[in-house]
């Protein structure tokens, strides 16, 4: 009966070989399994020739157990454990039969028929189980194929995702470049709006420089006349006037100089260097620029400008051209709002824009208020979003307030608050920490 | 002849006084100044009979020169003061508006004082 174990081992190996056919594992295992099958048969004859039946049974059981153990441990054969599992009864029967044959041979001799029946039954069990698991096996095969397909799919998807990731990174880079270009062009656009205002602002002091130098030349002629006449009192009075005029020339020259410097600072890419800044001066300068910029475009426009500067304000650390841009933007918006309201409100409407600065505890506040159209409630939470604008296409970039927010909140740790009643007024409050 | 100069730039005052130094000394002209349209109206309210000519800037914060002109033409018709407008933006629109509202003349900045002097002397005669 000992042959059954080896035959079972041989059949399992053949079957495994057949099943592996067509799979990627086949080339690796094919010849190994062929040799193993023949080895199992040869092993039987060798043991049978040398040892008695008890040893043959034990060795056969050990062979099967070893194969089952190997299949369980070997990664390649994990899916095929199902072929080895039905041999467990035969292994059990083999161990018991072998031990009894060796240890209590008389008992075995007496009941050898039962043992043979048990061995045969355990042997047949293997094939019965196989038949029963054939269906399972097919499912297994399907699931193995499916897994392979899935693996291919996953690989494809991974490649796709990688590609998308690279594309997205590229796009992000482009967007960042575009953003910085947009910020620069927004700056240049506001500078463009300012040009007329700047021209006016420079023209005024230049006129004074020209007029005062002209009149001083005239005064010198007169002074010579007076001196020739011997009227030194009058000549001295004229000299005092001339001296005063020279001071005025200097004053207006410096005024023009300051405007040009401010303009250059505004157009320059931000240096991000914070320096102690006089907010009142900065606000006044940009208020005038914004006002005259608008006046240059709409000559019939006029507004009441109210300034209420807290003269005791300390210098505040800030990037002046950046905060200047914020103020300019708020002024431009304020003028736009009152200009639009003027078109619909009739002659009694007195457009006004006011700016107020104040020190509040450990921060300073800048309030810019206009009595223009106001902001409707439904867009209040949108006004700080990039590209949001109520202006017609081409008139506003929609970046003004969004950039202002970045400058005040992100770069200066400040706050921007909006307070508005539609049709009545809009008030922006900038709070900067000291 | 009494002239009221309306301009928000305070430095036009010494400029006028010096440019017209001789005329002032000879009492040919007499200047007064206002820094805004509102101030000018307040001044006129008190002594409009003295003023013969008003020389006003157009571009001023608050009440503009054009508005001041309209108010003057509306409120003071006996005797009507002469009004000359001055602006930095020497453009057609402001010129047309100034004339529509009844300005007697229109000058552009930078002021040509010799021209202004000529005009004032013509008015004076």
- Positive or negative CA dihedral for A234, A218, B84, B86? negative
pLDDT digit of tens for each residue in chain A (434 aa)?
A: 778 888 888 888 888 888 888 777 788 888 888 888 888 888 888 888 888 888 888 888 888 899 888 888 888 777 777 788 888 888 888 888 888 888 888 888 888 888 888 888 888 888 888 888 777 778 878 888 899 999 999 999 999 999 999 999 999 999 988 888 877 777 777 766 667 667 777 888 898 999 999 999 999 999 999 999 999 998 999 999 999 999 999 999 988 887 777 666 666 655 678 889 899 988 998 888 888 777 777 767 778 888 999 988 999 999 888 898 899 889 989 998 998 898 888 778 888 999 999 998 899 999 999 999 999 888 888 888 777 788 776 667 777 888 888 889 988 999 999 999 998 999 999 999 98
Q: Least CA distance to B18: which residue of chain A?
A: A215
Q: Which residues of A touch B94 (CB under 8 A)?
A: 299
Query: Measuring CA to CA, which residue among A94, A88, A110 is closest to residue A57?
Result: A94
Residue from B88, B95, B112, B114 to probe the interface with A (highest A Cβ count within 10 Å): B88
What is A270-434's CATH topology?
Answer: Heat Shock Protein 90 (3.30.565)
Half-sphere exposure of A252 (CA within 13 A, CB side): 22
How close is the nearest chain A Cα to the Cα of B9, in Å? 9
Q: Which residues of B touch A355 (CB under 8 A)?
A: none
For the stretch B34-47, pLDDT in tens is: 999 999 999 988 88
User: Cβ of A215 and B15 within 8 Å?
Assistant: yes
User: Cβ of A245 and B111 within 8 Å?
Assistant: no
What's the token pair of residue A32?
């190994």
Per-domain residue ranges of chain A: 3-158, 270-434
CB distance from B70 to chain A under 8 Å? no
How close is the nearest chain B Cα to the Cα of A174, in Å? 44
Q: Which residues of B touch A291 (CB under 8 A)?
A: 61
What's the token pair of residue A106?
């008389």
Half-sphere exposure of A270 (CA within 13 A, CB side): 23
In this prediction the ipTM stands at 0.83
How close is the nearest chain A Cα to the Cα of B45, in Å? 21
How close is the nearest chain B Cα to the Cα of A181, in Å? 34
Q: Which residues of A touch B111 (CB under 8 A)?
A: 207, 211
What's the token pair of residue A369?
């208020």
CB A339 within 8 A of CB A351: yes
CB distance from B66 to chain A under 8 Å? yes
Residue B93: the pLDDT is 76
- Domains observed in chain B: 2-124 (3.40.50.2300)
Q: Which residues of B touch A214 (CB under 8 A)?
A: 113
Residue B90: the pLDDT is 58
Residue A269: the pLDDT is 57
Q: Which residues of A touch B22 (CB under 8 A)?
A: 222
Residue A270: the pLDDT is 59
Q: Is the pLDDT of residue B98 over 60?
A: yes
Provide mean pLDDT across the span B41-70.
Answer: 86
User: Cβ of A244 and B111 within 8 Å?
Assistant: no
Residue from B89, B96, B97, B106 to probe the interface with A (highest A Cβ count within 10 Å): B89
User: Cβ of A222 and B21 within 8 Å?
Assistant: yes
User: Cβ of B110 and A211 within 8 Å?
Assistant: yes
Q: Which residues of B touch A203 (CB under 8 A)?
A: 88, 109-110
User: Which of A208, A215, A299 lies closest to B93 in CB terms?
Assistant: A299
């Amino acid at each position: 009966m000992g042959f059954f174990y080896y035959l079972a081992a041989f059949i399992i190996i053949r079957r495994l070989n057949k099943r592996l056919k067509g799979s990627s594992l086949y080339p690796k295992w094919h010849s190994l399994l062929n040799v193993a099958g023949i080895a199992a048969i040869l092993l039987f004859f060798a043991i049978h020739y040398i040892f008695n039946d008890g040893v043959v049974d034990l060795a056969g059981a050990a062979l099967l157990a070893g194969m089952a153990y190997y299949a369980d441990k070997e990664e390649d054969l994990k899916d095929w454990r199902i072929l080895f599992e039905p041999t467990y009864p035969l292994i059990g029967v083999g161990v018991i039969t072998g031990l009894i044959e060796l240890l209590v041979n008389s008992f075995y001799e007496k009941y050898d028929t039962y043992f043979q029946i048990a061995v045969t039954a355990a042997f047949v069990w293997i094939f019965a189980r196989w038949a029963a698991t054939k269906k399972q096996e097919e499912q297994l095969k399907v699931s193995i194929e499916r897994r392979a397909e899935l693996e291919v799919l996953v690989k494809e998807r991974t490649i796709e995702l990688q590609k998308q990731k690279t594309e997205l990174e590229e796009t992000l880079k482009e967007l960042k470049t575009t953003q910085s270009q947009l910020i620069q062009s927004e700056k240049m656009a506001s500078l463009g709006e300012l040009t007329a205002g700047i021209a006016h602002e420079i023209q005024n002091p230049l006129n004074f420089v020209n007029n005062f130098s002209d009149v001083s030349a005239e005064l010198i002629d007169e002074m010579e006349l007076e001196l020739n006449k011997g009227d030194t009192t009058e000549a001295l009075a004229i000299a005092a006037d001339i001296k005063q005029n020279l001071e005025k020339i200097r004053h207006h020259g410096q005024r023009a100089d300051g405007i040009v410097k401010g303009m250059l600072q505004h157009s320059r890419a931000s240096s991000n260097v914070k320096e102690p800044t006089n907010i009142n001066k900065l606000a006044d300068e940009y208020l005038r620029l914004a006002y005259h910029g608008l006046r240059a475009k709409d000559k019939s426009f006029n507004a009441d400008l109210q300034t209420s500067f807290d003269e005791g304000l300390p210098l505040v650390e800030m990037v002046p051209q950046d905060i200047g841009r914020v103020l300019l933007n708020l002024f431009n918006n304020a003028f736009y709002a009152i200009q639009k309201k003027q078109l619909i409100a009739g002659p009694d409407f007195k457009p006004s824009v006011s700016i107020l600065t104040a020190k509040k505890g450990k921060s300073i506040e800048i309030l810019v208020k206009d009595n223009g159209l106001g902001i409707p409630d439904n867009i209040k939470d949108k006004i700080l979003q990039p590209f949001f604008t109520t202006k017609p296409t081409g008139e506003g970039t929609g970046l003004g307030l969004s950039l202002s927010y970045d400058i005040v909140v992100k770069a200066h740790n400040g706050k921007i608050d909006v307070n508005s009643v539609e049709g009545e007024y809009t008030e922006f409050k900038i709070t900067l920490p000291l | 002849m009494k002239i009221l100069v309306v301009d928000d730039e305070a430095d036009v005052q010494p400029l006028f006084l010096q440019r017209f130094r001789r005329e002032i000394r000879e009492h040919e002209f007499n200047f007064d100044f206002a820094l805004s349209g509102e101030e000018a109206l307040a001044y006129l309210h008190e002594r409009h009979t003295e003023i013969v000519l008003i020389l006003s800037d157009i571009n001023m914060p608050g009440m503009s020169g054009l508005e001041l002109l309209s108010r003057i033409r509306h409120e003071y018709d006996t005797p009507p003061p002469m009004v000359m407008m001055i602006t930095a933006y020497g453009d057609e629109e402001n010129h047309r508006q100034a004339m529509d509202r009844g300005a007697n003349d229109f000058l552009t900045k930078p002021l040509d004082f010799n021209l202004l002097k000529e005009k004032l002397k013509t008015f004076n005669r």
